[in-house]
Amino acid sequence: MFLSRHAPLQPRILGACLLLGGLLGGVQPSLAEEAASNQRWVSDSLNTYVRSGPTDGYRIVGTLVSGEKVELLRTQGDYSQVRSASGSTVWIPSRDLQSVPGQTERLPQLEQKVADLSAELKGIDDAWKARVQGMQETLDTRKNLIDELQAARGALDAELTTTRSQLRDAQAQLGEEQQQVLMRYMAYGGSIAGAGLLLGLILPTMLRVKRKRNDQWV
């Protein structure tokens, strides 16, 4: 509970509180507009007593739980008047208030933030793993392509070596055939030249012999 009653309020104090509540009622709309900036939290370091007035002389009317959220209404001296979520209004030492949420309220926020960061980190980790896997697959594909190209180059080199060897053999065979053809042409030419020479020597002799015979007949 917000307040733990240690002693019953005297009728005079109760009347004063009711009167004070009535006076404050007229300014509640303007205070509601400033509610966001007037939020305070009871210090995490203690459970503090609260009083019915702004000095140590007023009666203790209860306690506020450490880290509890309250609304700051006004400050007088060393005390601040606050209102709880249930609407109860009490005075508390100003030193026992802080302007940031207590650990009790911040813990779920911190846990949620940790969960969000963990989820974000997991997403980054999954994305990085997928990226690394994609890079590995690309690397494997390129390696396979390089191996295929190297194998094709080896086959082409072997084929080129064979073709060059065949070309050298063909060139050697062609040279031999050219020499044989040349020798045949030379032999054929020599035969024709010899036949011509022989014919040139025999034909005049035959003509002379024929003339002599003709002359004898005449």
**Statement: the pTM of the whole predicted model exceeds 0.75:** no
Residue 94 resides in a domain = yes
Host domain of residue 155:
103-179
Residues 82 and 145 in one domain: no
pLDDT at 146: 92
Residues 139 and 77 in one domain: no
Residues 81 and 111 in one domain: no
pLDDT at 11: 45
Residue 5 resides in a domain = no
Q: At 55, which CATH number? A: 2.30.30.40
Residues 160 and 145 in one domain: yes
pLDDT at 212: 66
**Residue at which a domain ends, from 101, 121, 152:** 101
**Residue at which a domain ends, from 101, 125, 144:** 101
Residues 79 and 95 in one domain: yes
- Contact at 8 Å (CB) between 59 and 51? yes
pLDDT at 14: 46
What total number of domains does the chain contain? 2
Residues 132 and 174 in one domain: yes
pLDDT at 41: 66
Residues 43 and 88 in one domain: yes
Residues 51 and 84 in one domain: yes
Residue 19 resides in a domain = no
Residues 91 and 125 in one domain: no
Residue 208 resides in a domain = no
Instruction: Report the first-to-last Cα separation within the chain, whole angstroms.
Output: 179
Q: Which two tokens stand for residue 121?
A: 């980190």
Residue 166 resides in a domain = yes
Instruction: Return the bridge partners of 39, or none.
Output: 71
Closest CA to 65 of 106, 93, 104: 104
Residue 21 resides in a domain = no
pLDDT by position in tens, the chain (length 218): 344 443 444 445 445 444 445 444 444 445 455 556 777 766 555 567 788 888 888 998 888 877 788 899 999 999 999 998 778 899 999 988 888 776 666 667 777 888 889 988 988 988 888 889 888 888 888 889 899 999 999 899 998 998 888 888 888 888 787 788 778 778 777 777 777 777 777 777 777 666 666 666 55
Distance of CA 5 to the CA centre of its chain: 61
Residues 63 and 127 in one domain: no
Residue 6 resides in a domain = no
CA angle 9/13/14 to nearest 5° reads 70
pLDDT at 175: 79
